[in-house]
Amino acid sequence: MDKIRDILQKEINHMNLSDKEKEWVLDRCLFHKRYIQEVESVNSGGGCWHLLLHLKNKHIINITDLREEYSYDKFEDISDYFDHEDKGFGWEYLRPNYYMRCSQIAHPTYA
């Protein structure tokens, strides 16, 4: 049994993606598998699901709408990522090197 894979599949199911896109996101997450400490999915309130991966190096990867965002700062856990008003969730675009820390996950249709 692969615990991380099972958790990821459960959390990805919340996301508003096609089955093929969910499969694509799962593959991308499994790329980070050995570095993952915690996984959580949340609805930001705007109808958008976010898959959050807390890595062993204390950074967060936020995957939403087939975009992957790597946090600038380090966080103790996913809750810590939400608790900062000037950094963390919703504020990454204001932190240095935003576009270098983000990437579009190739759309399965074009892969």
Intra-chain end-to-end CA distance of the chain, in Å: 29
Assess whether pLDDT exceeds 80 at residue 71: yes
8-state DSSP, 62: E
More confident residue, 61 or 66: 61
* pLDDT (mean) for 15-22: 82
| Buried/exposed code over 12-46 (b: 16+ C-beta within 10 A; e: otherwise) | beebebeeebbebbbebbeebeeebeebbbbeeee
Instruction: Check residue 5 and give its pLDDT.
Output: 84
Share of residues in the chain with pLDDT > 70 (%): 92
Assess whether pLDDT exceeds 60 at residue 91: yes
| pLDDT tens per residue across span 24-39 | 888 888 888 889 999 9
Q: Who contacts 56 (Cβ-Cβ below 8 Å, separation ≥6)? A: 35, 36, 37
